[in-house]
């Protein structure tokens, strides 16, 4: 019998207000559109701000899951990240080369300017030796990362996976977000969201609190199926739930999906949106089924069917 895949902890850093340390350049001259930046993260020489934030949030995630940092060490834990723009230092390399020539590029800076650097640096911090990769992809990259993590668990590659989504909107990435913003678009929030996935048997063995079970995932084609999410839910849950909440992150240009009555609103945080939807669904009181995910108007999206406790708890405990 195949094992269930459950969520045992989440962690979130979401820029809610313009941080005091963020220069006014975070806003356009007209003030019509803004990017809200996360506060600066203390980082030692081994880390960038981004990898330092990820490392800190992994610590929080482990603590919330009832795990010690040492529990993450070894091949039983995997780590995957998803992002739309990746690490801003990649673009910064190009700027330094343009302004300073070859001497402006140093070995440490180059090593840190790879999109998988946060994953790799945190793997070293915590001794994580399971599968590890970085996606720099569509607006649904966070959900693509979640799908990767779920694959690894279903395939028996490891027992738990830390799924991270982030946006690092500095320099050219911020300018590009601003370029794409439609008139009157809401602010874009820099964010980092983490979800800890575990095999049900692993969670059960350590008597972990289960926040939800992932019943399944469903791929959504670009421009299709967003008007009728029943087919998507059918695939994600394996049946059409009698009632469910729906929370799908979509950029301004995507077709607005249905939303359940009373569902929380999502802010635009690009590829973090799918995991933010998942976290917001888990924040809702009471048991229930949720269809959460993210849509990209050009490339489609991914939805996950969540069975929230007590159903998931009883299934895992059974």
Partner 1 sequence: MTGSVVITGIGVVVRDAMGLDAFADWLMPGGALPDRPEHFDTSAFRAGNAYAVSPDRCATALARLGLAGLLPESDRDCAAHGLLAAAEALAMAGLDDAALRAACGCVMATTSGGMMDRFADAICAGDDGADYRLTAPPGATAEVLARQFGLQGPFASFSSACASSPAAFSYALSRVRRGDTPLMLVGGSDRMRAADFAGFNALRAMDRDSCRPFDQTRRGMVIGDGAAMLVIEDEAHALARGARPLARLREVGLALDAHHITHPSPDGLARAMRQALHRAGLAPDQIAYVNCHGTGTPVNDKTEVEALAAVFADESARPLISSTKGATGHLLGSAGAIEAVITILALRLGCAPAMATTAAPEPTRFPMPGPDGPAPFAGTFAMSNSLGFGGINSSLIFEACAGDAR
Q: Which of residues 107-126 bind partner 1 (CB under 8 A)?
A: 107, 109-117, 119-121, 123-124, 126
Question: Cβ(52)–Cβ(42) under 8 Å?
Answer: yes
98 binds partner 1 (CB under 8 A): yes
Q: Is 279 helix (H, G, I), strand (E, B) or coil?
A: helix
Q: Which one of residues 155, 183, 242, 318 is an interface residue with partner 1 (CB under 8 A)? A: 155
Query: What six digits make up the tokens of 258?
Result: 């249905």
- Residue 169 CB, nearest distance to partner 1 (Å)? 12
Among 39, 66, 172, 264, binds partner 1 (CB under 8 A): 172
Q: Does 293 bind partner 1 (CB under 8 A)?
A: no
Q: In sequence order, which residues have a C-beta less than 8 Å from that of residue 14 and are 6 or more positions away?
A: 38, 189, 191, 193, 267, 269, 272, 276
Residue 8 CB-density burial (10 A; 0-12 exposed, 13-18 middle, 19+ buried): buried
| Tokens coding 103 | 């001497």
Nearer to partner 1, 80 or 212 (CB): 80
Rule CB under 8 A: choose which of 175, 231, 240, 317 binds partner 1. 175
Pick out residues in 8-67 that bind partner 1 (CB under 8 A): none
Contact 188, 181 (CB under 8 A): yes
Candidate residues 11, 35, 61, 134; the one interacting with partner 1 per rule CB under 8 A: 134
Task: Select 148 or 291, whichever has its Cβ closest to partner 1.
Answer: 148
Among the residues of the chain, which ranges form H helices? 49-64, 88-100, 107-112, 117-126, 141-154, 172-180, 200-205, 230-237, 273-283, 311-317
Which region, judged by CB under 8 A, interacts with partner 1, from 83-91, 188-196, 246-254, 272-280?
83-91
Q: Is 169 in the site for partner 1 (CB under 8 A)?
A: no
Residue 105 binds partner 1 (CB under 8 A): yes
Nearer to partner 1 by C-beta: 211 or 271? 271
Q: Which is nearer to partner 1, 140 or 211 (CB)?
A: 140
Which residues pair with residue 278 across a beta bridge?
none
Q: Binders of partner 1 among 213-242, rule CB under 8 A?
A: 219, 221-222, 224
- How many residues of this chain interact with partner 1, rule: CB under 8 A? 71
Tell whether residue 244 is a contact of partner 1 (CB under 8 A): no
Smallest separation, CB 86 to partner 1 (Å)? 5
Q: Are 105 and 97 in contact (CB under 8 A)?
A: yes
Q: Which residue stretch of 18-26, 175-183, 198-206, 238-246 sits at the interface with partner 1 (rule: CB under 8 A)? A: 175-183
HSE at residue 108, side-chain half, CA atoms within 13 A, is 5
Residue 165 CA to residue 54 CA, distance in Å, equals: 10
> Considering beta carbons, is residue 11 or 87 the nearer one to partner 1?
87
Query: Are 164 and 86 a contacting pair, CB within 8 Å?
Result: no
Bridge partners, residue 36, by sequence: 189
Pick one of 19, 43, 133, 282: the residue that binds partner 1 (CB under 8 A).
133
């Amino acid at each position: 019998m195949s094992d269930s895949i459950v969520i045992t902890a989440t962690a979130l850093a979401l820029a809610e207000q313009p941080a005091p340390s963020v220069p006014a350049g975070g806003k356009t001259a007209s003030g019509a559109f803004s990017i809200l930046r996360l506060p600066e993260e203390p980082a030692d020489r081994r880390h960038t701000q981004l990898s330092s934030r990820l490392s800190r949030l992994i610590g929080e995630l482990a603590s919330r899951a009832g795990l010690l940092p040492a529990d993450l060490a070894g091949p039983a834990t995997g780590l995957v990240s998803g992002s739309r723009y990746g690490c801003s230092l990649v673009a910064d390399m190009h700027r330094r080369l343009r302004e300073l020539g070859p001497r402006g590029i140093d070995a440490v800076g180059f090593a840190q300017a790879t999109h998988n650097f946060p994953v790799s640096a945190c793997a070293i911090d915590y001794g994580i030796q399971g599968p590890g990769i970085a996606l720099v992809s569509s607006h649904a990259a966070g959900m693509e990362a979640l799908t990767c993590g779920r694959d690894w668990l279903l395939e028996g590659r490891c027992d738990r996976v830390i799924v991270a989504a982030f946006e690092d909107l500095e320099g050219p990435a911020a300018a590009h977000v601003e370029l794409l913003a439609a008139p009157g678009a809401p602010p874009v929030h820099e964010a980092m969201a983490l979800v800890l996935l575990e095999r049900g048997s692993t969670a059960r063995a350590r008597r972990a609190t289960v926040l939800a079970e992932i019943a399944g995932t469903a791929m959504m084609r670009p421009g299709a199926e967003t008007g009728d999410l029943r087919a998507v839910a059918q695939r994600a849950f394996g049946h059409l739930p009698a009632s469910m909440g729906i929370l799908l992150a979509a950029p301004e240009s995507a077709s607005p999906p249905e939303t359940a009555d009373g569902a929380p609103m999502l802010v635009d945080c690009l590829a973090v949106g799918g995991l933010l939807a998942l976290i917001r669904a888990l924040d809702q009181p009471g048991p229930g089924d949720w269809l959460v995910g993210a849509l990209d108007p050009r490339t489609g999206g991914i939805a996950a069917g969540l069975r929230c406790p007590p159903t998931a708890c009883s299934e895992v405990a059974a």
